[in-house]
Amino acid sequence: MTDLTLAELAAAVRAREVSPVELAEEYLARIDRGNDRIGAYLAVDHEGALATAREAEALVRSGVRDLPMLCGVPVSVKDTCLVKGLRYTAGSKVFADRVAEVDAAVVTQLRRAGMVVLGKTNAAEFGCSSYTETAFGAARNPHDLTRTAGGSSGGAAASVAAGLAPAAHGSDGGGSVRIPAACCGLVGIKPTRGRVSPAPGPDSAGLATAGPIARTVADAALLLDAMSTARPGDTHQLPPVPAGHFANSAERDPGRLRIGVIRGSASDDPWCRRACEDTVALLADLGHDVAYAAPTDPDDYREEFAVVWALLACSVPVPAEREQDLLPLTRWLREKARGYDVVAFMSALVSMQATARRIASRYDRFDVVLSSATAALPPLVGGLVDDDPAQTFENMLEFHPLTPLANITGQPSLTVPALRTPGGLPAGVLLTGRYGAETTLISVAAQLERAKR
């Protein structure tokens, strides 16, 4: 039962081959057995999940024809997101006892789709790091428990890779969906800016957005259908799409695409380079026009991105007497931010927008841009952390130099698995598309997935 895809689970529920309560009980039991080793969940909502599952089961038994598309299907939610009645720590000891009073808009969407929230997944403190190691423990890679599941949505990816959820909600401000998806051998989508509402939270810099993590491209697309929404007051909004829009694109042939390839650095891990090269060869075999593209140097965006990242970390209100309870990287970012004034912040935003235009223009002739998802295989737990937080920040950018680009431009970007090393560690590739063109990315990613079966 836990090997079925989201679509298969939803179909089984509709056909009454499995009940939502049975599904919830199975996943809750798996979490109870396995979470201590993995560190995927920070809070498990046994009572709430079973109550929602019973409601879904009653709806199915009522004979209603037009059931929600994912009626009775479980999902996990990242702990940087509000779920009414559940802990909302944002990965920080400072907020260990905080409980959300409302659902975030994206959680409302998941509930409208009929999904059963299993609990909150472990997340990097304030979403600031590309590893998930907090006061509550580390999210470990199910393929090798000595290694990181990535971040900041590390618990989300670990929950799916370990079979503790069929799919997960994550969020991505610099790669935080795509990095853990690559580390754990999964599909992760960062949607176009404005595709998923951040309400009731702000979107002050436009970097971050919620996105799905799943085992297959079709599952990730289906979950993106469920997540997509706009709310009054959102800074960025896209027109609504028809029901099943993204899921249907996973079944369509993408046609012949122009694909630009960004070569990695010579210092990149050979397996990560091979993941990209193998995918290039496969895309060419599938009939696409593949050409190498001009690389983007991280120095092109590093300075302004670091300013904005620091100010976002500092935007979380923390009592002065609790600052010492924050992790070293978070404290360093907040201290750095306090050295900037409003002019510096606005200048960084203006510079970042100019950078976004340059990057987007550089690759405008391509339908899709391909690169390695990360420059290295999943590091050991603690492997990115240095005694000097400034060096930790540099280590993160060296680990995933290209993921922040789509956050800066607002373009859609996804990670899809490419290979496994002899030791079983995954390596993924990054596909980035035109603004608003998630359907193209999903179509070509699903084509790659089919070709590897």
Tell me the C-alpha distance between 397 and 394, whole Å. Answer: 5
Q: Say which of 19, 92, 129, 176 is annotated catalytic.
A: 176
Comparing C-alpha atoms, which of 91, 94, 89 is closest to residue 322?
94
Question: Where are the alpha helices (H) located in 113-244, listed in sequence order?
Answer: 154-161, 178-183, 217-227
In 3D space, the residue among 149, 147, 163 whose CA is nearest the CA of residue 31 turns out to be 163
Q: Is 138 helix (H, G, I), strand (E, B) or coil?
A: strand
429 token code pair: 């590739």
Please choose, from the candidates 236, 126, 150, the residue with its C-alpha nearest in 3D space to the C-alpha of residue 192.
Answer: 236
Q: Which of 76, 78, 120, 413 is catalytic?
A: 78
Interatomic CA distance for residues 262 and 296, integer angstroms: 8
Q: How far apart are CA 109 and CA 118, in angstroms?
A: 15
List the Cα angle 279/284/286 in 5-degree steps. 95
Does residue 324 contact residue 334 with C-beta atoms inside 8 Å?
no
Token reading at 161: 């890779």
- As a whole number of angstroms, the distance between CA 441 and CA 436 comes to 10
Q: Choose, from 76, 92, 130, 152, the residue flagged as catalytic.
A: 152
Strands (E), 206-284: 209-214, 258-261
Is residue 336 among the annotated active site residues?
no
Active-site residue flag, 176: yes
Give the integer Cα–Cα distance in Å for 53 and 11.
15
Judge whether 152 counts as a catalytic residue. yes
Residue 154 structure tokens: 């590390």
DSSP β-bridge partners for residue 291: 260
Residues found in the chain? 453
Give the position of tokens 């496969």: 282
- DSSP-derived 3-state class of residue 340: coil
Q: Are 155 and 106 in contact (CB under 8 A)?
A: no
Catalytic residues: 78, 152, 176
